[in-house]
Amino acid sequence: MNLVVDIGNTSVKMAVFQNNSLLHKLIFPLSDFSNNFQKIKIQFPEIETTILSSVVKTISKEKKLLQRDTYFFELTQALSLPFENKYATPATLGKDRIALVAAAVAKFPKKNTLVIDAGTCVTFDFKNDKEEYLGGAISPGLEMRFKALHNFTANLPLLKPGENLELIGGSTEASMTSGVVNGLLLEIDGTIASYATEYEDLTIILTGGDAQFLSVRLKNSIFANSNFLLEGLNYILEFNKTQ
């Protein structure tokens, strides 16, 4: 049984896998790490192996806890990956993007796959049918776009995406929402269309915190999977067990 730990900028995701099946998932602040780890260990005493991915550098206590109680892997450049990384600057490739590509290999082997992660940033990551990772794009996410309008102007309010979306905004708030949300939807649909002209039989995955909000509004046919990154980390862990 595997424990997958993803420490992000705002929260920790901790998931238990039996082979490739997700059994349990928790999301909590980093300050509650020790308590939640102990709870999961009690609930799932069969956990033997852990993989950690973190964007936070000061996690020595958390890492020591995992190393003490489980057979430990950390997602670094030293780990073997189930795809050929053709990124020009592999040392700068984010761990989240690595995990997403690994999940694409696991779920859609030998298929051209574009993974779109809609979170703080919107990332586009592409692997071809030869299991080669070629790269992608990074763009501001929904919240970042709303904050930019507020922070870099004198009078525009700070908004969050709502359910009411108009093409022609009849007020300042409606105009901002139309610009941000419709702009991002058109960006994603346009990017998908560009990839589709270059690569046949393209599979599209949408994940991240804003995936559900965006998926019902996009024109393209996509697979929405909120656990895609965790599944990718688990696949990397399983892949390294056999090395």
Query: Distance of CA 55 to CAs 3, 7, 158, Å?
Result: 18, 6, 27
13 is known to lie in a ligand binding site: yes
Report the distance separating Cα 50 and Cα 64, nearest Å. Answer: 12
Q: Give first-to-last CA distance, the chain, whole Å.
A: 18
89 is known to lie in a ligand binding site: no
69 is known to lie in a ligand binding site: no
235 is known to lie in a ligand binding site: no
**Nearest partner of 125 among 142, 143, 104, judged by Cα:** 104
194 is known to lie in a ligand binding site: no
Yes or no: say if 74 and 57 are a contact pair by the CB < 8 Å rule: no
130 is known to lie in a ligand binding site: no
**What tokens appear for 103 in the block?**
């999940």
Residue numbers annotated as active site: 96
- Amino acid 44 reads F
64 is known to lie in a ligand binding site: no
Which residues are documented as binding site? Answer: 6-13, 87, 94-97, 117, 120, 172
Which residues are documented as binding site for K(+)? Answer: 117
Which residues are documented as binding site for ATP? Answer: 6-13, 120
Which residues are documented as binding site for substrate? Answer: 87, 94-97, 172
